[in-house]
Structure formats: C-alpha cells, structure tokens
Structure 1
Amino acid sequence: MSQDRTEPSSERATRGALMGAEVAEQPDVWARLLDRADQPDGELAAAAALIGRRRPRFVQFVARGTSDHAALYAKYFAEIVLQLPCGLVSPSTMTAYGAEPDLTDVLMIGVSQSGGSPDLVTTLERARAQGALTVAVTNNPTSALAQAAEAQIDIAVGPEKAVAATKSYTGQLLALYLLLDRVRGGDGAAARRLPEWGTALLGRDDDVAELAQRYRFASRLVTTARGYSYPTASEAALKLMETCYLSAQAFSGADLLHGPLAMIDPQVPVLTVVGDGIGGRAMGQVLPRLSELGADVFCVGTPDAVAAATVGIALPDGVAEEVSPLLEILPFQQLARHLALFRGGDPDAPRGLKKVTETL
C-alpha cells in the first residue's frame, strides 16, 4: 500500500479532502452545541430534567463502533461524577437471544451517529418496554433510534460525508458531557474554551503530517491510556485501522503492563495519551516500561509527557480532565488521515466500508 514519495501533494489533497474538512470543522461544531446547550427550554435541558425526576439507580449505554467509544467516555463520567454504577450493553442479548431483563430504575442511553442501526433501535425499544428511561444521542433527530427513545439529543454536526467518523464522535462526546454535567447540576463551564483550544491544536496539522511519515511502513501498533483518556486510545486505534489498513490494538495502560507488554519492541510504535489529571498521572507507571523496551512512543499529552516520549503533540494548558478527550483525539484523527495518504489510501472512502453498518 505504500505510495511513491514523488506523488504531488495536490493529488494527496484530493484524497482525504472530506475527512480533512470535517476534522477542521470540529471547533465550530462545538461552539454551536455549546450555544444550544444554554437554551433553558432546549432538548438537552429537557432530557436532563427528565433524568433528574426519574432518579435512575443504574446507567446503561448502547452503541456500536466509534459511538461505542463515546459511550465508554460517558460511562467513565457517570461512574466518577454521578457515582452511579454503569454498564455497556451487549445488544445481541436482547436482539439475538431475546433476553428481557427487568430495567426498572435504569437509564439507558443509545448513542449512534445515524440512529439507524436495527440492533440499537430494537435494544432501546425493548429496554423502554422493560421499564428503562431511554435517551438517544444522534446526528439525526428523525431517526428510528430518536423516535424509540423518551428523550433525544441532536448533536447537529451536519452531514458527515467521509466514512471515518470525526466530528460526529466529538459531537457525541460533548453532548454526553453537557447532558451528564447538567444532571449533576453543572453548567458546562469546563467545556467553554474547547472551540478556542481545538482551533489552536488543529493548527498543528503540518507538524502531525511530518510525524506521520515515521509510521508509513508500520504494520501494527498499540494505543494506550488510562481513565477518561482510554476511550481516546480506543478511538485512535479504530481510526488507524479503518483508514490505514494496519493492525492497531488499544489497551488500558494498566492492562498493557500485563501480558500485552511482551509484544512491544522498537518495531511496534506505541501511541499514548497522557493528559493533565489522574489518568495521565497513572500512566507514569507505563512510560518508563515502554522506554526500557526501546519503543517508539508518540504522545499526545502534557508538555512534560511529550518531552519524555519519542515524538508528540502537546495539549493546551488548563484543560479539565473530564473534557480533555475532545482535544486528545484531534491529533490522532489528523495522524490517521495523513498516514493513510502517505500509504496510498483514501481516508474518505476506506475499502470495504460503508458509512452506516447495519447489524442484527
């Protein structure tokens, strides 16, 4: 899949143009969503009020693919901030096996860019019939998933034409943060500067393109992080697999220190997320071990963490850990796009993939 180094940059720019535009659009998407979140009679306020009245004792999230990583982020938030037990639903238990669990006092949140996956729709419908309070987070307010839920939040990121989800992912992250923060009585203050920070971080696209060259001939790599950043590692691995056709495995930093560490060597790049917070500090156990093994470490994180890695991109100062994942994923989206182009692929339309995958 490697391409000739002499290919004109103008030809590379044609491929991947959709993904590039959608990555760049994200700060504007966030600004619009933040404005809508301030509306006292908006759907986000209504959903938060409904959750507050029902006072669920357990939260379940149902999603697939990229949206599953957004749901995993929300699971961390709900467990840490709302201090509610949470779980990620296996849709097949209801759709294929016909399970009908008692879901009284359960909040089930369905997360889907299209809102059209039959297994997610069926799961939300059956959960509602079994007593759950159901909420849909989608980019399509008229979708079957939105109609199946008692409340829905439209992330309103606009059409996403590239197959690889970018702006819809961070739109989901922000919508879930704003919803759950409002449930705890917050005003979304930690997210207010995200459009500003995101614009500055995306301005380093040329730096990321240069770094992408070093991984042009990689056949496999590992991504790792802890806490709120672990979903970022999972989403980064997915973006690299679907756009660059390489094997990418995501591990919690804690899990990496067990058996998977044995596969790390100088030929297996490791992409790490080391933000400013508890999860980032927990990665302090991981980084020295990677160094001992001679790993090539690409780090998105604090300036100190980046300085200790092989290469990396530093995050802005002052970002709260609970909203940092919206920024952390941006360099990885850029990396996936540039690496796909250098390897001769088209990240707008990866082979064999469709924008919406229907599962039963």
Structure 2
Amino acid sequence: MSLKARLKKQQGLRRAVKRAKVYKEYFADATFMSRHLLDGGPDPEHEQYRIMILSHSLEKGLSYRNARVFGRTKAEDLMARLEKSSDTTRRSSAFSIGFEVLRSWTDFIKSREVEDVQAAAIRGRLDALSEDSSPVGVGFRAGVASAAHLDATSWGGLPFEEFVRGRHSTRRFADSPVSDDDLQLCIELAMRSPSACNRQMVGLRVFDDPKSKELLYKTLHGTGGVDFDTCRLAVVTFDARSLDFYGERNQGYLNAGLFAMTLVYSLQWKGIGSCLLQFGNTFAEERTLAQGLSLQPGERIAVGIAFGVPEPDGVVPASIRRDVSEVFSVR
C-alpha cells in the first residue's frame, strides 16, 4: 500500500486536512466579499445598487397603512445620487426606478402637506434632470401599485399542487432548440422572485459556444448523465457589489436560490426540462471559471443549470421526499 493510501486511512489526519481546507476557502471568500461590498469604491454598479436600496426604502414607506410624511433625508440622498450619477448609471433601470420613486414620493408629500419646500424643490430638480437625461424604461410608475391581483380567489382554480408535484430534474434532452422567446419569458418571470431591498443582484449567464460550454460542463458538479450535445448550460450568479455589510454575506446565495427555483418552475411551465447543477468548487476554481467565462469582477457563481427540450419517454430518479413531519415543527 502506498504512503498516500495509508495516510488516507488515518481518520484524524483526514479531518484535520478537511478543516484546514474549510478555513482556506472561507478566508478566500471573506477577502473577495470585502473587496466587492457596496462600499468598496466608486464602481458604477455600486452606484446603481445604492440607488436601488434607497428607492426600495421609500417605496416601502409609501405602502404603509396610514403613512405619514417620511423619508426626507433618504429622498434628498437619492436625488443627489441621481444628479451626480455617471452616464452608465443614467442609462440603467436603477436610474429610472429612482427617478420614478422620487416622483411618487413628491406626489405623496404634496397630498399630505399644503406646501412643502423640500418636496417642491426635489420635484423641480427632477424636472430639470428629466430634460438633461431622459430616464430609460419610463412608462411604468414606481411607488405603489394595486394589490387587487393578489386576491386568493383568482388563484383557486390553478392546479398548483399537481404542477409542483410534477417537477423533476431532467438530464436527457431531445435535439430540439429552446425558443428564445420562451427563455426570455421564463427569465422575466424569475425576476419576480424576492430580492433583498429589490436590488435584483442575480444574473443568468447562458453559454452556447462549445469552448465555454465544455469548460462549464467539466467544472460543475453533477453533470454526469446530462446530455452535453443537446442541452444548454448556464450559471446563476449574484453580484457581490450589491451587498452592503457583513450581515449580508450570504444574501446573494439566498437571492440566487430564489431566482433559480422560480426559473426552474417557469421553464417547466413552458415545457422545458432543467437540472440544477451544484457549484461545489474551490475558490481558485471559481475564479478560473469566472475568467474563462468573462464574468464581471464582482460576480459569484451560485449554481449551474442545464436545460432543454426533454427527451420523449425519458426516465428520471424517483427522488422520494421525506415525510412532512420530519421537516415541520411548531414551537
């Protein structure tokens, strides 16, 4: 027996090595996250996420029951950020959202106060800003919206239980293309997933070119049995530049998970099979992959996904779930 084989049999040594690797990986994570947090520097992405956070805070206040006059400091901060924003930010959705939220906020203040000097001044600055830089995506109205569509009776006829029970991971795909229109719609629906302060920091990166696809296929875990030639491969990422403080260190993974599950259900709804592929790689492997796939500097990979038109009459693992009593408790 070789020395390496004998060392592998030493359980105490194996645990010590595993523990050292855990510390190494978490230290690399901490270094990366610290470098790319929202207060990391004058990055256009930082600028946009800060606008999103302030916008969400004002929107949330507008939706309160019996809302009182509020948000003067945040409104002023948001207005100043819009005025100082870079050309890149002025072409972004974040800019438009901030602009429209402030417009709703000034309308709200006007409805509560006979005359408010600060709100009137901000409205004037908005008008001037609109003339100087027309916000993209104008046509929606941020602020508050009717919740009438949330009436439970309108959802009662949907066979949601059957839909959820019918979902399974698909690894065998037919040689048929996925419609770009269907994929765009599924992504749009996945974007309805909750995200921290509506920052929408999650992205879907699809790789169809053979070199990138092969790199991803060989790096991700769980690709065994996945039809490489007929599937499309992608990664769900989150932008670490959207995170604000140490308490949000895992927020990106949570948001990416919410997005990924909504995406999987949306794909199923359109008859597209999918399989989430675990990203359990080292930090160094992730950075190599990020470079090879030309990801943004602050992007982190949360999970991979293979998708395509399911093979007719294919088989899948039964994957029986645990009993509800084993995962549910009331205390």
* TM-score, scaled relative to structure 2: 0.26
Normalised by the length of structure 1, the TM-score is 0.24
Name the one with the larger strand percent.
Answer: 1
